[in-house]
Chains A and B, each alone.
Chain A
Amino acid sequence: MAVSQSFKTAGLLKELMAKYYEQGNLAREQGLPVVWVTAVSPVELVYAAGLFPYYPENFGALAAARKVADKISLAAEARGFFSDLCGYARCGLGDAYAKEHPVGKIVPPDLLFSCNTQCGSLQKWFETAARMYRAPYFLLDAPLIEAPTTRLIKNYFVEQLEEAINFFEVATRTPFNFDRLAEVLALANEACRLWNEILDMAALKPAPFGFFDACFHMAPIVTWRGTKEAVMYYRELKKELEDRLDKKIYAVPGERFKIYWDHIPVWPKLRWFSELFAEHGALVAVSQYTHSWAYQFDLDRPLESMAENYSEGFSNRCFEDRINLKTSFMKKYQVDGFVLFSNRSCKPTAFGLYDKRSIISERTGLPGIVFEADMSDLRYFSDEQVRDKFTVFFEQLAAK
């Protein structure tokens, strides 16, 4: 009983997300361009340009959480996209071909704006979609950051943001509004601040909130970031959590262990995992994934500060930086063990985990495992194998 449907704000979330999808359809009806954007990309530019940002990754996550990702994917696979590709991309591409739409129809783009800070899959998925829908495509390119960020890369990113602004100006035939950008960035700052304060509550022992809850409540920080709605939502959620603390309602009753999880959840198994951990009195307290939306923009130098925030996402950092990020979270949340998810859909987060597991254990003394699965496709999930792995892990934890 650790998934937070029982939260009061869950109702608000439902409303908010319904409103979001409604806006997408409305935008289409009103002839307002729909811009496909990626989760870790400067959506603030899109909002400031007065356009509607649509997150096809969200569509993938939704399909995955409702356990239909593999089915939608089949429509893409029938066309020659192989099941080795990112599960989100297969859903997004598949839905365009599919006859049935179990999670609603994906909204076609008028423009596509992707940033490859997260991965090259998004770059390719959006490029493919741009060909399919014959729509203009802009790739915001993020070269890998080998600490510290160089002036060269920062300049490149800023130059591209200027090119992106031009891209939106051409599409809207309107000069870009920098005052509006400042407002949007301020709202994004506020939502990110609240979101991270909420995430920090998982460090309390026992905690009222954990990673699986965060996965449930993260949709607004992704899709509504830069709007009043996101700020309002996280104010409400924070209030509710404070209230829960007063009433001593905790995420995992009798919490014994805190766990670091890397990185994304196995969406169709969210409840399965949350129950598995709860059975052992373990709270998954923290993950790099949910902490990705921790932006703080400097309104005095908006473009440079967007460049820093968006090019330095963790999946775009070198090996050593990424280990340090993980171990610093482990320290901050005082975890007792860690779980690394080798996600078949996501090479940038999965490759390197085998070595990282032993290095992290060596440096922190914590037990940890790597397990294999896919974030959305159950065809790559073996209950038995995963359970066996975790049984050993929980034994190690208990023996600590």
Chain B
Amino acid sequence: MTDRKTIKEICAQFKEIIAEPGLKIQRLQAEKPAPVIGFLPTDVPEELIHASGAYPFGLVAYDGLWVNRADAHLQTWACSLARCSFGMSLAGKFDYLNGLIIPHICDTTRMISDIWKQNRPYDFMENFILPRQVDRPSARSYLTGELGRLKARLEQFTGRSINGEKLNRSINLYNKHRALLRKLYQLHGHHPDLITNLDLFNAIKSSMLIPKGLHNTMVSELISAVEQQAREKQAEDNHGRVRVVVTGKVWEPPDIMEILDQSKVVCVADDLCTGYRYIANDAAEDGDPLETLAVRQINRPPSPCFVNREQDRLEYLTRKVNECGAKGVIFLHLKFCETENYDYPLLRDALSAANIPSVRVETEIGNMSQGQISTRIQAFAEMLGGGDIYGS
């Protein structure tokens, strides 16, 4: 047992994990050899990777320096998230990976997998070919079948069979993990002075880089520390903070969360792939595990990548704002992200019709004007009346 750590210490650990994304997993691999299988964010059934005995590893754009490394193989009008991850791979920054799973969620992910295979293949290269409509019965049967295909490929590669029991254990672990992070998210909403936006999102992102069991321990400790300090603290230091919902694909580059923190903007809900969308819902622990994983994927919060007329994003987002008592919405868009851009004008108009102010911030990994974005966010926060008392 270690001594009880402070909030700051645990949050610093999350930050360190992200700063050296492959470090921990390589150490673990040296102790307990197993393949490391990467995945692009985040519509990938990590539970399957885990149940196969391999280490899942999330590839997010960790270092904007390498964006241009991809230029000889991929047009510069692909999004910087894809260019950066691929560029880092070309530069040998992910050489410790044994495999990579690419979920097909847009034209770029659909096309990049073969380009990747061509230029920097890992031993195990698989696509996870998701259904792009999720509101009809055919999606569920197809997805269950696709999960079965991926499972068989993983079994073939790792030489280990994934039986129902193993998979259910992994699902259980992942459910616990998601529940813990949801709890942390809630705490952040109540005590943004104790857990900042950056702390929260670092906690979520770092969980893609180390085994969930290990991460669960850290998040549990963090939750206790936050709860304790919340009990002890005299008064809320929440003057001037304003609650918002953030919508988009990823919170990259990470500076964006620091800007929110500095601007006293508190993200109380989001639908980011590397944010709440990653932890929003669980898979049932009884029944056929492949089917429950399929159902979990289908029931994830609406994303622009999947057609879901049953639960349209327009209504979902408006409802979310009201549920969380947020005062506005920040669109966090990666330049060249088509799926987000198609949705944007009508989403903005729907919000505006519901009297919800919004602002759009365009980011580009490796090429972002921090000052400009900061000014925009601050102006938005002021417009929302940042001077008001925080809380519901």
Contact = CB atoms under 8 A, between A and B. Distances in A.
Interface of A: 79-82, 84-86, 89, 116, 119-121, 123-125, 127-128, 130-132, 136-137, 139, 141, 143-144, 146, 150, 152-153, 155-156, 159-160, 163, 318-320, 342, 344, 347-348, 350-352, 354-355, 372
B117 interface: yes
A283 B73 CA distance: 29
Given A120-B110, A156-B145, 13 more contacts: A81-B345, A84-B335, A125-B342, A131-B314, A143-B146, A144-B104, A152-B146, A319-B115, A347-B75, A347-B107, A351-B108, A354-B73, A355-B118
Contact of A139 (B112, B130, B307): B307
Interface residues of B, number: 51
Contact of A123 (B75, B117, B132, B348): B132
B346 interface: yes
Nearest to A131: B346
Which 8 A-B pairs have CB atoms at the shortest separation, nearest pair first?
A319-B114, A351-B111, A124-B342, A156-B142, A80-B345, A347-B107, A159-B138, A143-B129
A349 B7 CA distance: 49
Given A80-B348, A351-B78, A85 B110 contact: no
Nearest to A346: B107
26 contacts: A81-B342, A81-B344, A82-B341, A120-B106, A120-B107, A120-B338, A120-B339, A121-B107, A121-B338, A124-B343, A128-B342, A128-B343, A139-B307, A141-B132, A141-B133, A141-B139, A144-B110, A155-B141, A156-B131, A159-B138, A347-B75, A347-B107, A347-B111, A348-B107, A351-B108, A352-B115
Interface of B: 72-75, 77-78, 104, 106-108, 110-112, 114-115, 117-119, 127, 129-133, 136-139, 141-142, 145-146, 149, 304-305, 307, 309, 312, 314, 335-336, 338-339, 341-346, 348, 360
Contacts of B307: 123, 127, 137, 139
Contacts of B74: 351, 354
Contacts of B305: 120
Contacts of A155: 141-142, 145
Nearest to B341: A82
A44 to B, nearest CB: 19
A318 B106 contact: no
A120 B305 CA distance: 9
B114 A348 contact: no
B333 to A, nearest CB: 9
Contacts of A123: 132, 307
Contact of B111 (A82, A150, A352): A352
A342 B75 contact: yes
Nearest to B110: A144
Nearest to B129: A143
A322 to B, nearest CB: 9
B138 to A, nearest CB: 4
